[in-house]
Amino acid sequence: MNVSRTNALDTILNRTDLDLDLPTAESQPISEFFGVNVFNETAMRDHLNEETYLGVKKAIQAGTKLDRDVAEQVAEAMQKWAMAKGVTHYTHWFQPLTGRTAEKHDSFFTLTPTGEVIEEFGADVLVQQEPDGSSFPGGGLRSTFEARGYTAWDPSSPAFIMEIGEGKTLCIPTIFVTYSGESLDYKLPLLRSQAYLEKAAIPVCQLFDKEITRVSATLGWEQEYFLIDETYFNARPDLMLSGRTVIGKAPAKGQELDDHYFGSIPERVYAFMRDLETECHKLAIPVRTRHNEVGPGQYELAPMFEAINVAVDHNQLLMDVMERVGRRHKLRVLLHEKPFAGVNGSGKHNNWSMSTNTGKNLLRPGRSPYKNLLFLTFLMNTIKAVANHNDLIRGVIASVSNDHRLGANEAPPAIISVFLGETLTRVLEELKKGKSETKSTKELLDLVSSIPDLEKDNTDRNRTSPFAFTGNKFEIRAVGSTANCAGPMTVMNSIMAQQLDIFYKEVQEKVGEGLSTETAILDILKQYIIDTENVRFEGDNYSDEWKAEAEKRGLNNFLDTPQALDVYAAQSTKDLFVGGGIFSEKELLAHHEVMLEAYILKLSIEAKVQSELAINYVLPAAVEYLTKVTNSINSAKSAGLTDLSGLVQTANQVANEINILKAKSAELVEKVDSIHDAHQLAKIVKPLMDELRAACDNLEGLVEDNSWPLPKYREMMFIK
């Protein structure tokens, strides 16, 4: 047996419990330490005078810049607060187009011109820094010799203290832009999309309630992940380099019995979860839910809803924190959408809605005609936006890792459709039939008022739907577990804003023709119900029948990322993003280029590591076993045995798989080195990888267990 696999099993079976001093509900309730490492409203009230505090709050709410004097006072207060907690360094924390976060630490310590040692942190470094970051993906927005990039403070997301061992760093959430102000990150487009949505939503809201003067999107994400012992991780080069197992035979038992789902949390995992939640609560990440997921070794945690920008920051921060906490427990967190073939993949369900300054959730059904018509308006505009841009929703969730997940093992398919549930579907059908020229506005409003309260039992959860209404929000279930939520949320905000603009203009036109506002709205909604029939589906999205039906309805089924990303070159996408002020044409082209480049690089890495494993791990084990079998055949012949058909058949099987392995491995390396187009890589390299994997997995089933060099699925998923 390979030494690393032997050591992995020995190490795991002899693990001792970690001695961690974790807060408990009895010793310290969460409410007493929640947000202690965040420069939140409590910290600002404690360290800022009232005038400055109100100025900061006003700027955040209005989305305006802080004036210089206020910024200076905030910087002074932030430094004082952080240093009192033992912080020595600060960083501008940003979200480049790598999909994760980035930071460059600077010390508060500095020397004056006279050589005096002081601790310094002013408005200059709070508001703006120049991290360079020339090696981050930019899609051609800047050349290497013009690599200057700036980070700029985002006051709407609070600063926080990151604890790494004994070190503490003040992290300031920022945007990241080029020298000329073009977006190099996920945060700036998200902020722009939020402004676009609010501007479009307020006039529509004021058709119902003049007191609504602010609208913001909200997000509640659900993070799925796998946990394995770190020794398995270190013994699997594919997990280390690509995040997934590119070879590996399915075990006799996987998730078929559903016995892991919502089952008792293993003690070691439970300790990790408690530790993780403690770190999250200190950073004001409001996680509340934890449980076993479907796949063996798969888990989930989820927070309460938050403002969309803060929620995105919290999810990015979470992924960093959970990996560090995992290492503390000698575990590795696998965030890849499909670390193990044949079992449940991991998603990051994005629960999206909109709220107003008056406390309304615009996707929460009400009981009176007034509230119900407001709800129906935003419900149908959301569905209409999805119908108009369903290919863009598919494109924004596309990645080389999510391609392995979509449409398999309880993941939504690559066809974007909307699920409403039986009750809401019936309401829409009644509304569509009830509108006629002979009915009065009062009768129509009476029909609308019959909508029941959908908060509890009248909407089901269609696990197969990629875009499902779940009572007071839409759950976008196709988002992958590694994704930055800012991408799909930017798309959702933008398509909704564009659609609300269209809706408001249509209402005004009908009112100008003499219709009442209520009648105009209902007339338009009836048409939207008809227009969106092709994208609304209440059945099993996994079924082959749905694929055929979707094709008849004109819905696309893009099975790989390059196909899905073509939508970014479409005129409708340009009109949306450029028209809404989310991207310039140059920025849109660059972001598209970055996504394609990421696909090429990541798929190439997967292919190369698969070839390496095949040649350096699988082939030697297979040859060694083949030698044993042939030696046994020769020995048996020498002993006078004649019926050796079983041994000969085994030898032939192993030899045949070795020949396939050698041929496919060589072909795979040649294709990866020669093909640089994303579409061609998807078309040629992925099938080759499937063939090479099949040969390796077949050999795993043939070679004796104690000769197999890599940790097996049954060990990684079941031995804790």
Q: Would you state the pLDDT for residue 720?
A: 76
Average pLDDT in the 496-509 region?
Answer: 98
Burial of residue 51 (CB within 10 Å: 0-12, 13-18, 19+) is exposed
* DSSP symbol at 92: E
Tokens of residue 221, six digits:
């994400």
Share the mean pLDDT of the chain.
90
- Could you tell me how far CA 618 lies from the centroid of its own chain? 33
Q: Identity (one letter) of the amino acid at 133? A: G
Distance CA 321, CA 333 (A): 10
Distance CA 19, CA 51 (A): 47
Give the confidence band of 369 by pLDDT, cuts at 50, 70, 90.
very low
Give the confidence band of 66 by pLDDT, cuts at 50, 70, 90.
confident
3-state secondary structure of 330: coil
Q: Is the model's pLDDT at 437 over the cut of 80?
A: no
Q: What are phi and psi of 417, to 5 degrees?
A: -140, 170
Work out whether strand 467-469 and strand 418-419 pair parallel, antiparallel, or are unpaired. parallel
Distance CA 453, CA 525 (A): 20
Burial of residue 143 (CB within 10 Å: 0-12, 13-18, 19+) is exposed
Cα 358 to Cα 95, 206, 219, 590, distances in angstroms: 32, 12, 18, 39
Distance CA 500, CA 69 (A): 38
Q: Would you state the pLDDT for residue 25?
A: 57
Strands (E), 449-542: 467-469, 474-476
Work out whether strand 117-119 and strand 109-111 pair parallel, antiparallel, or are unpaired. antiparallel
| Dihedral (Cα; 537, 541, 546, 549), 10-degree rounding | 30
3-state secondary structure of 430: helix
Distance CA 474, CA 454 (A): 13
Cα 494 to Cα 199, 201, 214, 389, 491, distances in angstroms: 11, 11, 17, 10, 5
pLDDT in tens, 12-56: 777 777 676 666 655 788 888 999 999 999 999 999 988 888 888
pLDDT in tens, 680-704: 999 999 999 999 999 999 999 999 9
Residue 697 C-beta-side C-alpha neighbours within 13 Å: 17
Give the confidence band of 436 by pLDDT, cuts at 50, 70, 90.
very low
Distance CA 570, CA 576 (A): 10
Q: Which residues of 252-273 are buried (b: 16+ CB within 10 A; e: fewer)?
A: eebbeeeebbeeebbebbebbb
- Could you tell me how far CA 136 lies from the centroid of its own chain? 20
What contacts 78, CB < 8 A, 6 or more positions away?
A: 39, 47, 121, 126, 159, 170
Q: Would you state the pLDDT for residue 133?
A: 65
Give the confidence band of 574 by pLDDT, cuts at 50, 70, 90.
very high
pLDDT in tens, 195-206: 999 999 999 999
pLDDT in tens, 517-539: 999 999 999 999 999 999 999 99
Q: Would you state the pLDDT for residue 130?
A: 79
What contacts 430, CB < 8 A, 6 or more positions away?
A: 447, 450
In 3D space, the residue among 246, 226, 229, 249 whose CA is nearest the CA of residue 237 turns out to be 246
| Contact between 226 and 339 (Cβ < 8 Å) | yes
Give the confidence band of 661 by pLDDT, cuts at 50, 70, 90.
very high
| Contact between 578 and 193 (Cβ < 8 Å) | no
Bridge partners for 712 per DSSP: none
What contacts 704, CB < 8 A, 6 or more positions away?
A: 625, 628
Residue 66 or residue 289, greater confidence: 289
User: In the 3-class helix/strand/coil scheme, how is 360-385 assigned residue by residue?
Assistant: CECCCCCCCHHHHHHHHHHHHHHHHH
Q: Would you state the pLDDT for residue 5?
A: 79
Cα 705 to Cα 2, 614, 651, 656, 697, distances in angstroms: 10, 17, 16, 19, 13
Following DSSP, what letter does each residue of 8-76 receive, concatenated? HHHHHHT----------TTTS-HHHHTTTTB--HHHHHHHS-HHHHHHHHHHHHHT-PPPHHHHHHHHH
Q: Would you state the pLDDT for residue 511?
A: 96
- Angle ∠(189,190,195) on CA atoms, nearest 5: 95
Q: Is the model's pLDDT at 670 over the cut of 80?
A: yes
Percent of the chain as helix, strand, coil, to the nearest 5: 50, 15, 35
Residue 423 or residue 659, greater confidence: 659
Token pair 């577990």 is found at 481
Give the confidence band of 562 by pLDDT, cuts at 50, 70, 90.
very high
Token pair 């505009």 is found at 381
Give the confidence band of 604 by pLDDT, cuts at 50, 70, 90.
very high
Cα 51 to Cα 44, 74, 258, 683, distances in angstroms: 11, 12, 57, 61
3-state secondary structure of 307: strand
Give the confidence band of 443 by pLDDT, cuts at 50, 70, 90.
low
Helix (H) or strand (E) holding 565, with range, is: helix 561-565
Give the confidence band of 259 by pLDDT, cuts at 50, 70, 90.
confident
| Contact between 411 and 517 (Cβ < 8 Å) | no
Q: Would you state the pLDDT for residue 114?
A: 80
Domains of the chain: 34-185 (3.10.20.70), 194-598 (3.30.590.10)
Q: Would you state the pLDDT for residue 603?
A: 97
Give the confidence band of 438 by pLDDT, cuts at 50, 70, 90.
very low
Distance CA 666, CA 664 (A): 5
| Contact between 304 and 250 (Cβ < 8 Å) | no
Of the candidate ranges 92-96, 219-223, 403-407, 418-422, the one whose mean pLDDT is the lowest: 403-407
Cα 700 to Cα 142, 688, 696, distances in angstroms: 48, 18, 6
Average pLDDT in the 571-600 region?
Answer: 96
Average pLDDT in the 130-148 region?
Answer: 69
Helix (H) or strand (E) holding 607, with range, is: helix 585-613
Residue 542 or residue 507, greater confidence: 507
Helix (H) or strand (E) holding 242, with range, is: helix 237-242
| Max Cα distance, the chain (Å) | 103
Helix (H) or strand (E) holding 492, with range, is: helix 486-512
Distance CA 499, CA 404 (A): 32
| Contact between 543 and 412 (Cβ < 8 Å) | no
Q: Would you state the pLDDT for residue 168?
A: 95
| Contact between 227 and 339 (Cβ < 8 Å) | no
